[in-house]
Amino acid sequence: MTVTSIYSKKTAKVALTSFSLPVPRSSLLFPICLFAASFLVASSLSSCQPREPGKYVNRKNEFAITFPKNWEIKEEELGLSVIALSPLEFSGDDFRENVSVAASEMTRPLTADDVLDANIPSMINMVTEFKPDTRGHQKIGDKDAAWLTYSQRQGRKTLATTLYAVPGRTHAYLIYCTAETEAAPRFKDAFEKTIASFKVLE
């Protein structure tokens, strides 16, 4: 795994504008990528609980992933392929930590960095107080993946997200792991296990 620090207050402007854009936006669109990183408990999404708790397979977009068994799974909403939400932790908790997957067809072969870089501009423009922190590469299954950690504001909340970009043969995948900043350490293991379970089936 490789890690690169890309953010500090003094270099924020440089960091935010240093990403290359090898792919035209029209050729790789994840229309709801911002929703995935900021999912509140209030929701009218329909649930989809698999026969085996936590195990989810998407034949349309050719991927599989295993979520924690007690998380609620919702699919094909807000432009997401799937999102899994953690149970509320305590009375007054109003944010459900989550892992979500957005899939898009590729018009040509792309690298993991291509997929990640193509989605950075919309995040800069639309995510409130978007602050990238570290960036790196790792294997997810047999696929090369690029990842980016960042924080953002949602009302009074500060959220911490790790975004993984995974290219398949004909699809590109964005996987978001999002938690309230103070809760992030408690969800680290669950997030890592979920990411390790992700498989491209095409």
| Res. 76: pLDDT tops 80 | yes
Phi-psi region of 105 (alpha: psi -120 to 50; beta: other; left: phi over 0): beta
User: Counting beta carbons within 10 angstroms of the beta carbon of residue 142, is it exposed (0 to 12), middle (13 to 18) or buried (19 or more)?
Assistant: exposed
Read off the pTM. Answer: 0.81
Give whole-number Cα distances, 3 to 15, 105, 124, in Å: 15, 28, 21
Q: What is the pLDDT of residues 100-116, one digit of tens each?
A: 999 999 989 999 999 99
Q: Which of 4-8, 27-31, 52-56 has the highest mean pLDDT?
A: 52-56
CATH number corresponding to 2-200: 3.40.1000.10
> What SS3 string covers 146-171?
EEEEEEEEECCEEEEEEEEEEECCCE
Place of tokens 């043969």: 169
Nearest CA to 30 out of 111, 133, 109, 105 is that of 105
> How confident is the model over 48-77, as a mean pLDDT?
87
**What is the DSSP pairing of strand 80-85 with strand 72-77?**
antiparallel
